[in-house]
Structure 1
Amino acid sequence: MKDEYSQIIVKRILELCRQRDFTIYQLSAMSGISYSTLDNLINHKTFNPKIKTLHKIASAFSLTLSEFFDYPELEEFSFEDTHSD
């Protein structure tokens, strides 16, 4: 379950890409984040994206971090149920 939070973030990113008809490649270009970094996140090779990365992703979608995290599954997630940071 250590990556459950990461999976929710990936789900949020993919949902935003679908809503805006973006590919991961387009998101990479728009956010300034390398394609390999996004690919690693999407394919669960990276589990803890830095806040700077999330900020760039949110900005590419013309969202603030608050708006990016305004997602029911993220709001409902409890870190108390996990055993690691």
Structure 2
Amino acid sequence: MNVKQAVAKRIEYLCKERGIAYNELANICGVTPSTIYSIFDDRRKNITLSTVKKICDGFEITLGEFFSHPLFDALGQEIQ
């Protein structure tokens, strides 16, 4: 699993936990639905930290709370 996949999984978990659909999340965060859906598209390479911050704001959590999850603890280095 890479960082983008871990971010997508974390968002998926938070949405399920809170009963929020992806379109609803987009509205809450002030981003387009296509931005949210692109996070789950393996063909799209990157996600920006500013987008993750907007998503965190929508969930009313900090970046620290978002990334403080076992999904991110097991990630290896991504050197390209």
TM-score normalised by structure 2 residue count: 0.89
The 3-state SS of whatever aligns with 1:39 is helix
CA distance in 2, matches of 1:49, 1:31: 15
User: In structure 2, which of residues 68, 71, 74 is the aligned counterpart of residue 73 of structure 1?
Assistant: 71
How does 1:4-83 map onto structure 2 within 5 Å?
A: 4-79=2-77, 82-83=78-79
Unaligned runs of 5+ in 2: none
Identity of aligned residues (%): 29
CA distance in 2, matches of 1:60, 1:20: 12
Equivalent residues, number? 80
How far the C-alpha of 1:83 sits from its partner, in A, is 4.3
Which 4+ residue blocks in structure 1 deviate beyond 4 angstroms? none
1:40-76 CA-partner distances (Å, limit 9, x unpaired): 1112232321111000001111100000001112122
CA distance in 2, matches of 1:28, 1:17: 11
Amino acid at match of 2:52: L
Amino acid at match of 1:69: F
TM-score normalised by structure 1 residue count: 0.85
